[in-house]
Amino acid sequence: MKNSLSVILFSLTLFTLVLTLTVLQPTLVLAQDTELSAVAAADDANGDGLLQKNEAKYPATWDWKANFDLIDCDKNSGLDGAEIKRFKKFKACPDQGAGAPIYHRRAYPTGSGPFPAVISLHSSGGARGSRNLIENYRKETWKKSGYAWYAPNFFDRHGITNASRMETFDKYREEIEKELAAIIALMKTDPKIDSKNIFAIGFSNGGFWASYLAGKGIVTAAASHYGVWKACWGLDCFNDHPVKYFSSTSSPLLALHGLQDSTQQIEYYHDAHTEIKDTPNFEDHIYEDGGHVWDCFAYIPKWLLERRPKRMPRLLERLKEVCADKFDGPNREITDDALKRTIDFFKKNAK
């Protein structure tokens, strides 16, 4: 009887221990996730386990001050490890309300402004992929040219991936329209931005959305680089967007396309252009030697290459292979010319 009682008591003790650990495990994992990395902890001057705005310094290329309020999901005026990791992965804060802006990053040129601004719209590779591969998408390109830079991730909220990218243009189209219009509205309230001169540039998938923002007159002017003009699969498929966005009240649009584009073939652009060529202030240029993603020049920040000298150079080489093999090959001359044409077009249409 005594042995049986001991077994029962032991079983109850074990059960209680397992139950306690089960209850505590999420808390323990959460606490571990919120810990600052060694690099971030080195900036934590007051040792409270958070980075305040005056502490966050490295890497400087993350534009901590410009993005601090976006990273600070719990609004406690400090950044923990989980918030920093989420920002690093181009992910929005969890449990956002329906009216919250979609995830976006921002950066500004040196000075107080107000600056003309560009909303940079990513390809089907997503915000992170575009950042790593597409030179004229990156903030460095636009800051150097004197523009404030906003870059929304319009895939994240809807769980869109490269594999499901066509859902951008049908299933989630109307929601993304509202979300991008909300980002423009947010930009207009930014004291460092000249609200009369907000422009859009889009790459491939993003080119579709640059057409939307110009077509509906939401931005001052826009440019579509190797943009999506046929927004569906198959020879006989039909999607009346982005053509349907354009009207007599549209803002100016510059369409740049490559004759050798193997993804959005030149015929797709010509078919769309036939429908919208009479739209006021619509300009285009066709690059005879241009393919898809002509500005695919792989990039990894210098600080990251120095921090991980073995892994990062190998990754950079793999990214260069993606540019050479997956798309139609990078072209330096076209990349530089496309940027120049776009900036000249924006300046010509500035208010």
pLDDT of the residue at 27: 39
Q: What percent of the chain has pLDDT over 70?
A: 90
Confidence of residue 21 (pLDDT cuts 50, 70, 90): very low
More confident residue, 13 or 104: 104
Amino acid identity, position 56: A
pLDDT of the residue at 6: 53
Minimum mean pLDDT range among 208-222, 238-252, 307-321: 307-321
Confidence of residue 4 (pLDDT cuts 50, 70, 90): low
Domains in the chain, please, with CATH? 92-348 (3.40.50.1820)
Q: Which residue has the tokens 């995830």?
A: 103
Q: What percent of the chain has pLDDT over 90?
A: 64
SS3 helix, strand, coil % of the chain, rounded to 5?
A: 45, 15, 40
pLDDT of the residue at 13: 52
Minimum mean pLDDT range among 37-46, 161-170, 244-253: 37-46
Q: How far is CA 238 from CA 71, 178, 208, 229, 270, in A?
A: 40, 23, 15, 11, 15
More confident residue, 136 or 28: 136
How many Å apart are CA 185 and CA 187, to the nearest integer?
5
pLDDT(71) > 90:
no
How many Å apart are CA 190 and CA 322, to the nearest integer?
36
pLDDT of the residue at 153: 96
| 150 strand-pairing partners | 106, 119
Q: Up-side HSE of residue 123: CA atoms within 13 Å toward CB?
A: 24
How confident is the prediction for the chain on average, in pLDDT? 88
Q: Average pLDDT, stretch 231-254?
A: 92
Summarised one tens digit per residue, pLDDT across range 295-318 is: 999 998 888 888 888 899 899 999
pLDDT(25) > 70:
no
Alpha-helical runs (H) found in the chain: 2-33, 38-41, 64-71, 81-88, 126-133, 139-144, 173-188, 205-215, 266-276, 302-307, 311-325, 332-348
Summarised one tens digit per residue, pLDDT across range 145-189 is: 999 999 999 999 999 999 999 999 999 999 999 999 999 999 999
pLDDT of the residue at 28: 35
> What strands lie across the sheet with 148-152, from one edge to the other?
104-107, 148-152, 115-121, 193-203, 221-225, 253-258, 282-287
Confidence of residue 18 (pLDDT cuts 50, 70, 90): very low
Do residues 148 and 108 make contact, with C-beta atoms less than 8 angstroms apart? yes
How many Å apart are CA 150 and CA 104, to the nearest integer?
7
- Residues sharing a CB contact under 8 Å with residue 341, sequence separation 6 or more, in sequence order: 223, 254, 256, 285
Q: Up-side HSE of residue 151: CA atoms within 13 Å toward CB?
A: 31
CB atoms within 10 A of CB 124: 21
